[in-house]
Structure 1
């Protein structure tokens, strides 16, 4: 009986191991504890936001390596070359060939194209910039390709206009000193440069006319507006409602980025970028809208569903570990429930079968007892006494089955009594 139970237990153990092995094939490995992000220059908003990400991720036991670049173009190249895991990328700088192995995680805030110009001019349309000294952003920045595209739409290029590749800092200084006429910059509205130029009486901000037409031609652009007095009520800055063309700052990652890292990054982005901006569009970020690069399927799920129940009550690394264990536990429970349900009837059957096998022998002796020759009875008696001894010594019967056990012994003694009477005749 013990051997049979061992075989049964061993078989169940092997089956459980098999189920666990199959389940394990569907579990993603634990996410790496380190990841890297490409930003813009160390003076830019991308770098500042990356530092906020770093502090928040440290609380979740993850390390973020910040890799500064000259701008979105360079950051995108690093991402393509797999030198970094994720990057801040300005909308509109990528092309179809560049994004095949990349996926957007979310747009995180509006990043408008600011066109500041000297107070000595009174520009209304962008085509009026022809022939002026225009800073279009430095090489590798996201500003340069967008500025060139906007100017191209107005038949402005280096053949008819002085186009200068200046960094934001250099362009700001040049504009305030009167060394250039116009400054193009794609930058966060919360940046010090924007705040400074908006408050500078010698500089004007171009109110974009025909914004809808630009957004129709360049689908990654969205018209946004700044209300009168939003920057400063005291000084009424700006002095009127202003319309701008805006891209979005986007988090972009590798197509094969670990799903748990995607959730963690977006959870962090939600903490950093959920504060309303200067704009009146009332968009909630992070968002799955305004994306040039296709959205990662895991990012889409998070943006639509939000944090899981476990992520709301546990630190991320604990919730992530539990999620992976659940994948193994569910099929295991599916297997164990019928095993547990079937174990008690099987146990009862095994106990009773150990008793009933003796009853079978007793029944056979009882049927042929009267027809046996007297010379055969001593051998039958000897066998029966040995069986009674085996019943008493070898059978490990639980207390709950003692009634049937003692019934068996009584019946065995009754048969022995009958044999003794037959021997005495």
Structure 2
């Protein structure tokens, strides 16, 4: 039997000594990495709750589209119908929803950050629609057209429910335009009753 060359023997002995000394540290490092992975859980959740809005609203429609898209990746999305933006924000603050649609301008940034809520980005442009009756406009202008928010003073205006986010947004717009909101008869009906009241002449203008 040919004896093992000295160089090879010394190399094997060195490797054995290295494993004996560094092996425990290597196993410890691997164990810590495994624990960190399990604790951080970087994989997407299998189930999330999404606060949307009233039935048949734009938020409700977008929620159903996200539900279908994420289902293809094995993620179950449970939709929560709400009054709208402000209600969604409240559910997020209370931890009763994982995700939610929130209208820009319907909340204070400082309050949102203090609640630990983060924005994933802007999804779409959401205009504020103001509809008014021509005969109502003639009460405050010489024509049948309103050209500024100040002309709403003296009229009956529906701004939507408190949970929709529109009332807060309108207050900010009134303040920015120096409009005395107390001079406006404000109602907070839901969209369908508000539309019926508007068509029936019970309110002069409404905001969506």
CA distance in 1 between counterparts of 2:83 and 2:77 reads 19
Aligned counterpart for 1:40 among listed residues 53, 72, 87: 53
Q: Structure 2 stretches of 5 or more lacking a match?
A: 1-8, 138-144
Instruction: Indicate conservation of the 8 Å contact 2:46/2:74, yes or no.
Output: yes
Instruction: Indicate conservation of the 8 Å contact 1:126/1:154, yes or no.
Output: no
Q: 1:343-377: CA deviations, max 9, x gaps?
A: xxxxxxxxxxxxxxxxxxxxxxxxxxxxxxxxxxx
CA apart distance, 1:8: 5.5
In structure 2, the residue matched to 1:99 is 113
Matched, 1:19 2:29: yes
In structure 2, the residue matched to 1:184 is 207
Matched, 1:147 2:166: no
CA distance in 1 between counterparts of 2:172 and 2:191 reads 18
In structure 2, the residue matched to 1:397 is none
In structure 2, the residue matched to 1:221 is none
In structure 2, the residue matched to 1:73 is 86
Instruction: Indicate conservation of the 8 Å contact 1:93/1:142, yes or no.
Output: yes
Q: How is 1:220-299 mapped onto 2 (pairs within 5 angstroms)?
A: none
CA distance in 2 between counterparts of 1:179 and 1:40 reads 26
CA apart distance, 1:69: 1.3
Instruction: Indicate conservation of the 8 Å contact 2:107/2:168, yes or no.
Output: no
CA apart distance, 1:86: 1.2
CA distance in 2 between counterparts of 1:5 and 1:115 reads 82
CA distance in 2 between counterparts of 1:148 and 1:169 reads 22
Aligned counterpart for 2:129 among listed residues 84, 107, 114: 114
CA apart distance, 1:15: 4.9
Aligned length: 183
Instruction: Indicate conservation of the 8 Å contact 2:149/2:179, yes or no.
Output: no
CA distance in 1 between counterparts of 2:45 and 2:203 reads 48
Tell me the SS of whatever aligns to 2:119. strand
Aligned counterpart for 1:156 among listed residues 163, 176, 180: 180
Q: How is 1:47-58 mapped onto 2 (pairs within 5 angstroms)?
A: 47-58=60-71
Tell me the SS of whatever aligns to 2:48. strand
Instruction: Indicate conservation of the 8 Å contact 1:133/1:181, yes or no.
Output: yes
CA distance in 2 between counterparts of 1:15 and 1:139 reads 59
| RMSD, aligned CA | 2.5
Instruction: Indicate conservation of the 8 Å contact 1:136/1:148, yes or no.
Output: no
Tell me the SS of whatever aligns to 1:75. helix
In structure 2, relative to structure 1, the CA distance for the partners of 1:124 and 1:6 (3 Å cut) is: closer
CA apart distance, 1:21: 2.4
Q: Structure 1 stretches of 5 or more lacking a match?
A: 186-425
In structure 1, the residue matched to 2:195 is 172
Tell me the SS of whatever aligns to 1:169. helix
TM-score, normalised by the number of residues in structure 2: 0.77
Tell me the SS of whatever aligns to 2:164. coil
TM-score, normalised by the number of residues in structure 1: 0.40
